[in-house]
């Protein structure tokens, strides 16, 4: 069986192209380590994807040397929540990994969802 890592590491990655600016995106935040943009199929009034600039496939692909990247991802979530006015009202953050979680984009991304009352169920 081909692992998700092997399946995608040699293919063209849409999110890497957005980071590089060769594909358009609605950017909301960027620093040296992370990039964040509006989800094309927003599931709530605010739906942002925060991604590392390093091509990491999913949580299983994270290594010890990536810890600083996560500090930047979570700091970006704080800043974007403030910038987009949802820090006070609350928001949800989600990493999907693999088939049962319905992961469709194999470049690690943190979903940041808010701007309305979200459902109480985490599993849809």
Q: Least distance to ligand 5GP from the beta carbon of 108, Å? A: 9
Q: Give me the 37-76 binding string for Zn ion, x by CB under 5 A, dash otherwise.
A: ------------------x---------------------
* Binding segment (CB under 6 A) for ligand 5GP, from list 3-11, 67-75, 78-86, 99-107: 99-107
- Is 72 labeled as catalytic in the residue annotation? no
What residues contact residue 59 under an 8 Å CB cut-off, 6+ apart? 95, 97, 108
Q: Is 103 in the site for ligand 5GP (CB under 6 A)?
A: yes
DSSP for 37-106, written as a single string: EE-TT-SSSEEEEEEESS---SGGG--GGGHHHHHHHHHHHHHHHHHTT-TTT-EEEE---SGGGT----
Q: Is 39 in the site for ligand 5GP (CB under 6 A)?
A: yes
Q: Is 25 in the site for ligand 5GP (CB under 6 A)?
A: yes
């Amino acid at each position: 069986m081909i692992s998700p890592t092997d399946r995608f590491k040699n293919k063209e990655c849409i999110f890497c192209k957005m980071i590089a600016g060769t594909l358009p995106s609605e950017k909301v935040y960027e620093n040296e380590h992370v990039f964040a943009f509006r989800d094309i199929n927003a599931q709530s009034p605010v739906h942002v994807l925060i991604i590392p600039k390093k091509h990491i496939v999913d949580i299983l692909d994270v290594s010890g040397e990536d810890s600083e990247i996560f500090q930047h991802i979570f700091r970006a979530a704080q800043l974007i929540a403030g910038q987009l006015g949802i820090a006070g009202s609350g928001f949800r953050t989600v990493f999907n990994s693999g088939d049962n979680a319905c992961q469709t984009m194999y470049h690690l991304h943190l979903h940041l969802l808010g701007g309305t009352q979200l459902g109480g169920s985490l599993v849809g």
